[in-house]
């Protein structure tokens, strides 16, 4: 640690604060009302990008993987929070709801999120920012991020309950960033405060801030530090997108961090601060019967896999529900063909995007908009991000505007690449569905957010997050989360 400090003493360091479900409209409101002085300070002393595009589905594990690798799920291979593993014939669930985890076998699910996510599922074909920097001899820190893969082996101090299971012993080691906090399972500081099991084993904002403060106060910040603040997700889910209570609460933690310095201005001197959200959230209506799209009802003509039984011979369909987005798998393309499932879903005007792949081509229909769009990469049309596409059919299905061989997005930012990446993110015969704002999908045991908000969808309400940057006038090549890794590496270089 000391070596790191002396080697890079004169270099500006990057501190990235990733705040779950931070959105621009409520942030702007909170600042106007004087409820977020730390955010206000950063915004007045930096550059504000209100609309950075998040990957699809807009779920934290997929977003974090994209942020760390600079790729969409077609490359990093973390398709969503919940997805079906074709080779292992089982539903992977990194933790959407404790009830669901118990049904699936709690231990297995904990293992998926604590161990397999980083050590098996996240593609080894691509390097994370931690791995990239470690190869350049630079240390990095990851505090409470769910995706953290790096080149340093760490022991996870698992709760006693888990170590009763013999299969865990070998796997209590994991490869993370040089400085690595993962709740109370791996800590940088010696402090146990805020890290107890009733405090979600340290996966909370106070613990995150406490670990970062320790790095600042001991003068051991490495070149790059990413700190994940999880708490606001829950507040926004409950109170809706315009809630500012969560923002003012996380602002207190930011104030605590700024207070480590002699003055707040001092905090800006040797650092680039990047403060951003990971996904947005869209409102969910308050009438339970309308707001929840129960896929077991919509697809009742098919035999759907039951969570606790796993795949049985007679099963035809598997549901991978990610709040406002769902993967729907067919186990038997003859009895349950994807185009038929898609047509069934299209009858529901609460579902605005339904997409699946046939050979190389992606087909898109909607329960809201007329027509059908087919597209594939490498054509004569170029979009806002310089990606080229071949489009056939009704561009209006994805609310696209095509003018002079150029494609412009509106309701669904970067829709073509995000849908394409999701439909090539893992093996299997599946379609993806995204709900209109106001609604969310449920399957067996799914969490619900009636009268609150939810995410996962392709819509811009789920997909746009703000980013505040201090210390530089440079900006990423495009305003998307996948474009941040390369830009951060240039800051440190």
DSSP conformation class of 480: B
* The token pair that represents 178 in the structure block: 């040089």
Stretch that binds Zn ion, among 156-164, 182-190, 232-240, 261-269 (CB under 5 A): 232-240
Least CB distance from residue 102 to Zn ion, whole Å?
19
The piece of 233-241, 251-259, 266-274, 310-318 that touches Zn ion (CB under 5 A) is 233-241
The bridge status of strand 271-277 relative to strand 13-19 is parallel
Within 92-165, where are the H helices? 98-104, 106-111, 129-135, 160-163
Does position 233 bind Zn ion by CB under 5 A? yes
- The least CB distance from residue 198 to Zn ion, in Å, is 21
Nearer to Zn ion, 58 or 186 (CB): 58
* CA–CA distance, 465 with 432 (Å, rounded to integer): 22
In the bound state with Zn ion, the residue whose beta carbon lies nearer, of 100 and 233, is 233
Question: Both tokens of residue 393?
Answer: 């059919």
Q: Tell me whether residue 56 or residue 302 sits nearer to Zn ion (CB atom).
A: 56
Least Å from the CB of residue 275 to Zn ion = 19
Give DSSP secondary structure letters for 438-453: B-EEE-TT----TTSE
Candidates 228-236, 303-311, 312-320, 327-335; binding stretch for Zn ion (CB under 5 A): 228-236
Provide the minimum distance between the beta carbon of 27 and Zn ion in the complex, in angstroms, as a whole number. Answer: 17
Q: Which is nearer to Zn ion, 70 or 95 (by Cβ)?
A: 95
For the chain, what is the total number of helices (H) and then of strands (E)? 19, 24
DSSP track, 344-394 = HHHT-TTEEEEEEEETTEEEEE-SSS-S-EEEEEEEEEEETTS-EEEEEE-
Stretch near Zn ion under the rule CB under 5 A, chosen from 110-118, 200-208, 231-239, 378-386 = 231-239
205 belongs to the binding site for Zn ion (CB under 5 A): no
Name which of 133 and 236 has its Cβ closer to Zn ion: 236
Beta bridge partners of 441: 293
* Residue 406 β-bridge partners: 382, 403
Least distance in angstroms from the C-beta of 448 to Zn ion: 12
Nearer to Zn ion, 205 or 233 (CB): 233
Interface region with Zn ion, contact rule CB under 5 A, candidates 22-30, 188-196, 230-238, 263-271: 230-238
Strands (DSSP E) found in 237-349: 271-277, 282-283, 292-294, 317-322, 325-330
Q: How far is the CB of 91 from Zn ion (least distance, A)?
A: 18
In angstroms, what is the minimal distance from the CB of 281 to Zn ion? Answer: 7
The token pair that represents 254 in the structure block: 């930011």
Residue (183 or 230) nearer to Zn ion, CB: 230
Rounded Cα distance, 325 and 304, in Å:
17
Taking CB under 5 A as the rule, does residue 243 contact Zn ion? no
Q: Which is nearer to Zn ion, 94 or 430 (CB)?
A: 94
Cβ(333)–Cβ(342) under 8 Å?
no
Other Cβ atoms within 10 Å of 266 Cβ, number? 11
Residues facing 432 on adjacent strands: 327, 355
Residues between 394 and 413 that touch Zn ion (CB under 5 A): none
Candidates 225-233, 266-274, 409-417, 471-479: pick the segment binding Zn ion (CB under 5 A): 225-233
The minimum distance between CB 200 and Zn ion, in angstroms, equals: 14
Closest separation in Å from C-beta 291 to Zn ion: 16
> CB of 255: closest distance to Zn ion in angstroms?
25
Nearest residue (CB) to Zn ion, 71 versus 322: 322
Q: How far is the CB of 237 from Zn ion (least distance, A)?
A: 6
- The minimum distance between CB 264 and Zn ion, in angstroms, equals 30
Show the tokens assigned to 25: 């409209």
Within positions 2 to 41, which residues make up the interface with Zn ion, using CB under 5 A? none
Stretch binding Zn ion (CB under 5 A), from 73-81, 194-202, 226-234, 389-397: 226-234
Q: Which is nearer to Zn ion, 233 or 440 (CB)?
A: 233
- Residue nearest Zn ion (C-beta atom): 233
In whole angstroms, the minimum distance from the beta carbon of 233 to Zn ion comes to: 4
Residue nearer to Zn ion on the CB measure, 233 or 348: 233
Q: How far apart are CA 122 and CA 395, in angstroms?
A: 33
For 90-99, which contacts have Cβ atoms below 8 Å and span 24 or more sequence positions? 90/310, 90/311, 91/305, 91/307, 91/318, 91/320, 92/116, 92/121, 94/61, 94/146, 96/321, 96/322, 96/323, 96/446, 96/447, 97/445, 97/446, 97/447, 99/445
Helix or strand or coil: residue 464? strand
Beta bridge partners of 354: 365, 433
CA 407 to the chain's CA centroid = 26
In the complex with Zn ion, the residue whose CB is nearer, 94 or 224, is: 94
Q: How far apart are alpha carbons 282 and 465 in whole angstroms? A: 12
- Alpha carbons 114 and 101: distance in angstroms, whole number: 13
Number of residues that bind Zn ion (CB under 5 A): 1
Toward Zn ion, which CB reaches closer, 233 or 411?
233
Which residues contact Zn ion by CB under 5 A?
233
């Amino acid at each position: 640690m000391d070596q790191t400090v002396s080697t890079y003493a004169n270099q500006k360091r990057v501190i990235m604060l990733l705040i779950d479900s931070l959105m621009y409209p409520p942030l702007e409101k909170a600042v106007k009302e004087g409820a977020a002085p730390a955010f206000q300070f950063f915004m007045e002393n930096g550059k504000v990008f209100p609309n950075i595009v998040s990957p699809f589905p807009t779920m934290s594990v997929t977003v974090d993987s994209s942020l760390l690798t600079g790729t969409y799920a077609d490359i990093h291979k973390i398709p969503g929070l919940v997805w079906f593993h074709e080779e292992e014939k089982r539903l992977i669930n990194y933790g959407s709801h404790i009830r669901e985890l118990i049904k699936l076998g709690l231990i297995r699910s904990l293992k998926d999120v604590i161990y397999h996510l980083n050590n098996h599922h996240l593609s080894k074909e691509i390097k994370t920012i931690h791995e990239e920097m470690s190869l350049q001899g630079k240390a990095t820190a990851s505090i409470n991020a769910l995706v953290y893969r790096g080149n340093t082996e760490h022991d996870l101090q698992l709760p006693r309950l888990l170590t009763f299971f013999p299969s865990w012993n070998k796997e209590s080691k994991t490869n993370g960033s040089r400085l690595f906090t993962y709740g109370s399972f791996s800590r940088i500081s010696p402090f146990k405060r805020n890290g107890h099991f009733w405090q979600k084993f340290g996966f909370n904002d106070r613990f995150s801030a406490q670990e970062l403060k320790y790095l600042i106060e001991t003068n051991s910040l490495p070149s790059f530090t990413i700190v994940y603040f999880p708490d606001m997700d829950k507040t926004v889910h409950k109170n809706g997108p315009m809630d500012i209570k969560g923002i003012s609460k996380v602002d207190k933690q930011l104030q605590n961090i700024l207070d480590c310095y002699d003055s707040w201005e001092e905090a800006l001197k040797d650092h680039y601060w990047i403060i951003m959200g990971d996904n947005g959230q869209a409102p969910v209506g308050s009438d339970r019967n309308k707001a929840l799209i129960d896929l077991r009802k919509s697809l009742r003509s098919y035999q759907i896999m039951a969570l606790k039984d796993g795949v049985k011979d007679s099963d035809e369909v598997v549901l991978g529900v990610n709040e406002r987005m769902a993967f729907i798998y067919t186990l038997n393309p003859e009895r349950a063909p994807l185009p038929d499932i898609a047509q069934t879903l299209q009858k529901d005007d609460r579902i605005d995007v339904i997409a699946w792949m046939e050979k190389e081509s992606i087909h898109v229909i909607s329960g809201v908009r007329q027509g059908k769009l087919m597209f594939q990469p490498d054509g004569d049309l170029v979009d806002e991000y310089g990606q080229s596409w071949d489009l056939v059919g009704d561009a209006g299905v994805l609310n696209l505007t095509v003018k002079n061989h150029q494609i412009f997005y509106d309701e669904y930012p970067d829709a073509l690449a995000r849908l394409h990446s999701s439909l090539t993110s893992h093996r299997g015969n599946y379609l993806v569905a995204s709900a209109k704002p106001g609604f969310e999908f449920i399957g067996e045991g799914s969490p619900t957010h009636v009268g609150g908000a939810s995410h996962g969808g392709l819509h811009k309400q789920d997909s746009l997050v703000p980013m505040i940057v201090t210390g530089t006038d440079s900006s990423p090549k495009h305003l998307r989360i996948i474009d941040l890794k390369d830009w951060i590496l240039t800051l440190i270089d």
